[in-house]
Amino acid sequence: MTTPRHPQPQSPSRPPTRDRIVAAAAEVMATRGLAHTTTKEIARAAGYSEATLYKHFRDKEELFFCVMRERLPSGFIETLADLPARAGHGSVRATLEDIARKAVPFYEQSIPMMASVFSEPVLLARHRDGLRAAGLGPHLANTALAGYLRAEQRLGRISRSVRPEAGAALLLGACFQHAFLAQFVGEHAVEQSVERFARDLVRSLLSGAAPG
């Protein structure tokens, strides 16, 4: 696995040292997985001492959160945050396709980093606690999407028969599986492009969700 394909541009407000460390962490974590990555390896890849790394980050988990926010393919988290404002605007189909197009590459890049954590129960518990303390977690994507679907129901643009939580799980779960297959089997074995996958997925989900 190589460095994420869509690195965020360096912010002028962030120290260059910090950005180099985050970029190095993204590369090492994508290659070795979170559980097998050490701060010493990250510091070496960034060209700094481990002491310099700790001037900017408390621990490996904090670095991982920064990688997730700053170095993975952009747009998915921001799109989820914007969902409340999108209810009633544009088409539901276009909004859901937008989410699917951005979810797949986000999951595709994060899966290699996270996979090894599940083989280390102590690290998994620590990581889970860190996410909870920071108010973060993968479940929030489902919560945000379910909230959007519920808002569109109230506006009469989605059938009342749809269960928002189930709809969110269907869409995001399908995106996660598509990303998993691309990683596990290889992108060459995934017949659909992300664009076509998003179109077909949303069309299928909405076929029984039209109001009336």
**Does residue 101 sit in the same domain as residue 121?**
yes
Taking alpha carbons only, the member of 99, 88, 82, 203 closest to residue 151 is 88
Q: Which residue, 50, 68, 86, sits at the end of a domain?
A: 68
Residue 16 Cα distances to 4, 64, 86, angstroms: 19, 18, 35
Phi/psi for 201 (5° steps) reads: -60, -50
pLDDT at 74: 67
The token duo for 87 is: 């209810």
Give the DSSP H or E segment for 33. Answer: none
DSSP-derived 3-state class of residue 156? coil
Please tell me what DSSP assigns to residue 12: T
- For tokens 């390896």, the residue is 41
Q: State the burial class of residue 31 (Cβ atoms within 10 Å of its Cβ: 0-12, 13-18, 19+).
A: middle
Write out the DSSP string of 70-115: HTSPTTHHHHHHHHHHHTTSS-HHHHHHHHHHHHHHHHHHHHHHHH
Give how many domains the chain has, as a whole number. 2
Q: Which residue, 46, 68, 90, sits at the end of a domain?
A: 68
Look at residue 20 and tell me if it is in a domain.
yes
pLDDT at 189: 62
pLDDT at 172: 97
- Percentages helix, strand, coil for the chain (3-state, rounded to 5) are 70, 0, 30
Look at residue 1 and tell me if it is in a domain.
no
How big is the chain, counted in residues? 212
| The model's pTM | 0.76
AA letter at 62? E
Residue 184, Cβ neighbours under 10 Å: how many?
A: 10
Averages of pLDDT over runs of 10 residues in the chain (212 residues) are 40 71 91 87 94 92 82 82 95 96 91 80 83 84 96 95 95 95 76 88 85 66
Look at residue 22 and tell me if it is in a domain.
yes
Parent domain of 186: 73-206
